[in-house]
Amino acid sequence: MNFTTFVPFMQSDMQTLINEQFPNHLLKADVNGSSVVFHSHNGVMLWVEAITNHVMRFRYSAKGYFSPDFSYAMAKDHRSGFAYFKVEELDSYYELRTPKLSCKVQKIDLKVSLYNEEGKLLNEDEKGFHWEEDSQRGDNIVKMSKRSINGEHYFGLGDKPSNLNLRDHRFQNWGTDEYGFAKDADPLYRNIPFYYGLHKEGCYGVFFDNSYRTFFDFASERKNVTSFWAEGGEINYYFIAGSSLMNIAQRYARLTGKPEMPPKWSLGYHQCKWSYSSEEEVMEIAHKLRKLKIPADAIYLDIDYMDGFRCFTWNKENFPDPKGMVQRLKDMGFKTVAIIDPGIKIDMDYSVCKEGFEKNYFCKHADGPLYKGKVWPGECYFPDFTNPEVRDWWSGLFKELIEDIGLAGVWNDMNEPAIMDVPTKTFPLDIRHNYDGHHCSHRKAHNVYGMQMSRATYKGVKKFAFPNRPFIITRSTYAGGQRYSSVWTGDNIATWEHLWVANVQCQRLSISGFSFVGTDIGGFTEHPTMELYVRWMQLAVFHPLMRTHSSGDHGDQEPWSFGEEGTELVRKAIELRYQLLPYHYTNFYQYTRDGKPMIRPLSFYDHQDPQTWYRQDEFVFGDHILVCPVLEPDRQGRRMYLPKGKWYDFHSKEYLEGGREIYLETSLEEIPMMVKAGAIIPMIPVEQYVSNSYKELELHIYRGEESVVSMLYDDAGDGYNHNQGYYLNRNFTVLPSESKYRITQHQEGRMPSSVKEVTLVYHGFKSRPSIVELDSDPFEVEIQENNGSFSFKVAEDFKQITLRWG
């Protein structure tokens, strides 16, 4: 039986006995600093290495040696040291300890068990490491089976369009162009082999760093077993311990890297379509957005801007003056983003093809011929982005688009890589790749191809956009690809089910390292109703990438495409996005600095509450805002779960106790959203496009009974001076008591504030204060009252504001 076909299905006991091989008893253990290599009598090697106090790495080899240690996923600075690493030999096992994590390796079979600092079992091998020889390929199918602890739940694994809780499901990673994908479709475009485990004793993360086709079974085939395996390479995984799912997310981000701060404009609204096919049409869209006062920051060009779909060219008939067009858009406050695909049309009069051919930069079959595949231009060659020389060449191709014409960003598509008119939808598996000097076939390089394309694109855009920051969006990527690009979820459908899928996908991608994520608002295929488009736009207010994109074959999908009522409702949603821009930008800063997911499932807010383990409609955006989108038609309200704590309805300012499910009435004008009691939410007046500096600033203060810290980060909105301290980061701490309500502010950074006064808006207080103190001195203010809230202005650099009653 061909194992490629056999792997995803049930394995009989007889086949297991015949095919699977296991380590036997220990021969010796070699200790070297922070690592130990265990050798079994039948030649299996296990390399255990302490990466940090909370992270251990496990590599297995059945070959008697380890291949060169290379990974595209790992950040350069992922090792951070540890207080100590102790190795102790006992009668039946070795114990390896850091201050936060303990690992036991059994001498009889090299099985591993892992414990937290309190000695509680987090994870243990069931069959452990085992393998099957693949004589046709000269490689092994490598496997790891873990015991699923009673009541264990699983999360993560990228953008799988299935229930947020992965238990009882099986998945694979093999980047696939899946046009109009269905709910539960698998695999899709992105390949992120990282998951979380959660049970009564604690939680952990597992990152299986293997770029071959990988599989994950979360107690689906056998109810007490979770397993992962690959069609080649090594079992090479990182085990991450933590006291909460959020801790683990941050440690995973440290392993695989965090992005730089994006240009602030990229957090505005983006308008895209397949396709705005002429300069006249692009300018018409831009003028209408401004005429209707619908805030927007970016307009995209799909493949029709090119000359015969040749990358890095222009259709001079429909786009006669690209530089002038881009400048006119810039004068109106728009940035221009253009698509670039990997397929290079075979045409020796086309300079990109000619140069790539002459320099031997295109992918080849194993026996030598250049690979040809059909995509939009027709027959194409494809650069080998795993070759550093090719990446350098590719990055240089962006000079004209970015430096000369003035594009602000690049959109990479079709980079799974996707091939038309072949059953596999991608390259043949015999295609050869450089893999940064670790030469391999497409079996190993497939899942990183899109990541390496976006890496090369990022390098070029960053170089030629300087001193501005780059903006890249990609469809396919691998773990660690967040260092180079944002992502969107691919070719979705204009259905209510896909609105549900969009919500789940963005939550899952966010906790898998990819917070800069969005969906095609309204659906790429088919055509939404006005209600569906409005509800989708409301959800997208809280997706870091907010972009409408659609196929023109199915009708218009601009914000004004659904009548006057639809236009008003869409405008209102987009305006809320721009009002919350300071909160969004601060949220992104926390992601880049601390690795905090920007979108967080409820289990990441309170993993000890069993109610959060299966909730998936609700999510927390940043530190303080809870969102629950309406995901069904004809609804004037919905049920939602409030996590433990105290909350305020953002719209009505009603005070609500958490730890329970509520029914919330909500019109089509509003998305259900709550604010955590004690939080301070920064807001600004609506702008038609991001201006980078705030002209006015409101701090909305929601009364709470406990001390809460809120943050407001700002910098120049572009450029790199923030890396030299030119930023302004404010931390607000609420100190409540029965008779007073105090807010302290601590500022850091060298950037002066763009506002001289801020307006403090207080919500949830029974009455206005009798005394206001500024930095411990009485302060005369003019207090404004409005619908139960009150406000006043104060100098932006206040150290302390105290309200007193009585």
Write out the DSSP string of 32-92. ETTEEEEEETTS-EEEEEE-BSSEEEEEEESSSS------SSS-TT---B-S--EEEE-SS
Check 201, 209, 413, 606 and give the catalytic one: 413
Task: Please tell me which residue in 201, 279, 341, 491 is annotated as part of the active site.
Answer: 491
CB 271 within 8 A of CB 298: yes
Task: Please state whether the peptide bond connecting residue 275 to the residue before it is cis, i.e. omega within 30 degrees of 0.
Answer: yes
Query: How many Å apart are CA 526 and CA 535, to the nearest integer?
Result: 16
**Catalytic: 178?**
no
Nearest 5°: the CA angle 271, 495, 546 is 25
Distance CA 620, CA 583 (A): 13
Cα distances (angstroms) measured from residue 157 to each of 188, 552, 739: 11, 32, 49
* Set 416, 606, 623, 698: catalytic member: 416
User: What are the structure tokens assigned to 340, written together?
Assistant: 């670039």
For the residues of 400-429, what is the DSSP string, one character each?
A: IIIIII---EEEE-STTT--TTSTTSS--T
User: What residues have CB less than 8 Å from 528, skipping those under 6 apart?
Assistant: 494, 522, 536, 557
Residue type, 381: Y
Contact 60, 141 (CB under 8 A): no
Query: 126 catalytic, yes or no?
Result: no
The amino acid that residue 50 corresponds to is A
- SS3 assignment, position 791: strand
Identity of the amino acid at 660: R
3-state per-residue secondary structure call for 670-725: CCCEEEECCCEEEECCCCCCCCCCCCCCEEEEECCCCCEEEEEEEECCCCCHHHHC
Beta bridge partners of 740: 804
Active site residue 413: yes
What is the phi-psi region of residue 583: left when phi exceeds 0, alpha when psi lies from -120 to 50, beta otherwise? alpha
Query: Could you give the residue numbers annotated as active site?
Result: 413, 416, 491
